[in-house]
A = this chain, B = another copy of it.
Amino acid sequence: VALAFERLQAVGLVEARPGSGHFIAAHAPTLAPASVELGPAPSEDAALGFVRSLDDASITLPVGCGFLPPSWFAEAIPLSILSRVRSGGALSLPAPRQGDPILRELLVERLRARGVPAACRHILVTKGASQAFDLIARTLLSPGDTVLVDDPGYFVLFTRLKAAGVRLLPVPKCADGSALDVLEDLARTQRPRMFFTQTLLHNPTGISASPANCHGILQFAEKYDFLVAEDHSHSDLASPHLISMAQIDELRRVLYIGSYTKVLSPGTRIGFIAAADACITALLEAKILAVLSGSALEEAVLREVLSSGKYRKYLERLRDRLARYRALATTALKRTGLDVVGEGGLFLWCRLPDGMDALRLSVDARRVRILLANGSMFSCRGSGNEYLRFNAAYASDPLLIEFLSERLRRDRIPKIDV
């Protein structure tokens, strides 16, 4: 009974008067205030609109989203880890501003195993890759700078960079990585400050760049003096034997951005930047101004997972499962008439038959509670509306396959024999 009263009191429905007892709270919950125009109007940015739609509870099949389904993570972090984290005191102390030093050591060991030379002081723990992008934009870019980005590429990054007042120039993605001819031309004529690129399991195409392509990008970075922000947020889903630019460059011009959100726990937000000392100092100051410090709780969870000795086997199982789902999805999507032009990691990148419009298809899909990711979102110049990105874990779902089969049968331009 006492606890019941406590709960009622916690939500403000009763109040305790010491020495008298519990009473119905005097204040009736008041009405919310009328909205006053105090801030800027909501943006009509497609990326922000898409991200916000991920929270729409009416969606039953989020095949356009960038996270694996919750059920895949059911056993990723056992209760014993949370128990160790709690008894270790992680809830009671603020996280060190740069990140838990033992976690940073573990991240360093994993980077070294991938051939990236780094020390503990080169690591800054962040809230996922997203905060890494934000801090880089705050610290290393100035309004008016020219910045190169993958095309297609990660749309929230584009919106973030535009908010920093920089000029975005697209570098097309090819089968073996970035289009080096375009890259050199842009580097020579436009003098970019930085190139944001994803070399392994690129979002949205799934492509991994060849060592030669990585080498080519770095040669231009040196020749034309730009920095490279290399997004490794999906790299734990790639074979550990694939090469990266950070490995070749040894963190001289490359900032390595890692994340555990995709592979371990979408509900925790742990990523990091590995970079040269001078960058880390500035990024750390920006982090202090942005959030003061990270979450000791989340950092301790990742520390316990990485030091448990079970993470490598866990990743192997996750990669195997994802490969089976990609294979299933590839077969199913091809049968609908889509052309699967890229695949790897989380994603399948598909081309619609001529004459079909991905944006229109996405709008119609929402009516049957399917969230699609239309290709034009992934281009900083708004091209690519003949493409769709599919999350492999959801893309063989019969609900999706039926919807696509029917629409592609109906809407594709009939082939005319000549």
Residues of A within 8 A of B (CB): 3-4, 6-7, 9-12, 15, 25, 27, 29-33, 35-43, 45, 48, 51-52, 54-55, 67, 70-74, 76-77, 79, 82-83, 85-86, 89-98, 106, 109-110, 112-113, 115, 117-119, 121-122, 127-128, 130-131, 134, 139-140, 156, 159-160, 163, 227, 250-253, 261, 265-269, 275-279, 281-285, 288-298, 300-301, 306-313
Known: A54-B97, A289-B134. A71 touches B42 (CB 8 A): no
Collect the chain B residues with CB atoms within 8 Å of residue A86's CB: 77, 79, 82
Known: A39-B140, A309-B3. A98 touches B55 (CB 8 A): yes
In the assembled complex, the CB of A102 is this many whole angstroms from the nearest CB of chain B, namely 11
Given A51-B288, A269-B292, list of 9 further CB < 8 A pairs?
A10-B312, A12-B109, A32-B117, A33-B251, A35-B278, A36-B253, A130-B290, A131-B291, A290-B290
CB of A291 within 8 A of CB of B97, answer: no
- Bound CA–CA A15/B288 (angstroms): 38
Known: A55-B96, A89-B70, A312-B9. A278 touches B39 (CB 8 A): yes
Which among B33, B43, B294, B295 is the interface contact of A252 at CB below 8 angstroms? B33
Collect the chain B residues with CB atoms within 8 Å of residue A30's CB: 112, 115, 117, 250
**Complex copy number for this chain:** 2
A to B CB contacts below 8 Å, 12 in the list: A3-B309, A33-B252, A38-B278, A41-B278, A79-B86, A94-B267, A127-B295, A130-B291, A156-B288, A163-B289, A266-B296, A268-B297
Closest to A269 in B: B295
CB of B74 within 8 A of CB of A307, answer: no
- Bound CA–CA A32/B140 (angstroms): 22
In the assembled complex, the CB of A35 is this many whole angstroms from the nearest CB of chain B, namely 4
Which among B83, B250, B267 is the interface contact of A91 at CB below 8 angstroms? B267
Collect the chain B residues with CB atoms within 8 Å of residue A131's CB: 290-291
In the assembled complex, the CB of A76 is this many whole angstroms from the nearest CB of chain B, namely 7
In the assembled complex, the CB of A173 is this many whole angstroms from the nearest CB of chain B, namely 22
Collect the chain B residues with CB atoms within 8 Å of residue A288's CB: 48, 51-52, 156
Collect the chain B residues with CB atoms within 8 Å of residue A306's CB: 10
- Bound CA–CA A72/B282 (angstroms): 34
- Bound CA–CA A102/B18 (angstroms): 30
Collect the chain B residues with CB atoms within 8 Å of residue A308's CB: 7, 10
In the assembled complex, the CB of A258 is this many whole angstroms from the nearest CB of chain B, namely 15
Known: A6-B309, A289-B156. A106 touches B298 (CB 8 A): no
- Bound CA–CA A85/B309 (angstroms): 24
In the assembled complex, the CB of A268 is this many whole angstroms from the nearest CB of chain B, namely 5
Collect the chain B residues with CB atoms within 8 Å of residue A294's CB: 269
- Bound CA–CA A4/B112 (angstroms): 19
CB of A94 within 8 A of CB of B54, answer: yes
Closest to A280 in B: B39
Collect the chain B residues with CB atoms within 8 Å of residue A12's CB: 109-110, 112-113
Collect the chain B residues with CB atoms within 8 Å of residue A310's CB: 3, 6
Closest to A32 in B: B119
- Bound CA–CA A149/B130 (angstroms): 30
Which among B48, B83, B98, B285 is the interface contact of A79 at CB below 8 angstroms? B83
Q: Point out which of A252, A265, A292 has the most chain B C-beta atoms below 10 A from its C-beta.
A: A292
In the assembled complex, the CB of A2 is this many whole angstroms from the nearest CB of chain B, namely 9
- Bound CA–CA A216/B307 (angstroms): 56
Collect the chain B residues with CB atoms within 8 Å of residue A51's CB: 97, 288, 292
- Bound CA–CA A298/B117 (angstroms): 33
Collect the chain B residues with CB atoms within 8 Å of residue A128's CB: 291-292
CB of A32 within 8 A of CB of B118, answer: yes
CB of B91 within 8 A of CB of A281, answer: no
CB of B115 within 8 A of CB of A27, answer: yes
Which among B29, B92, B119, B252 is the interface contact of A71 at CB below 8 angstroms? B92
Collect the chain B residues with CB atoms within 8 Å of residue A31's CB: 117
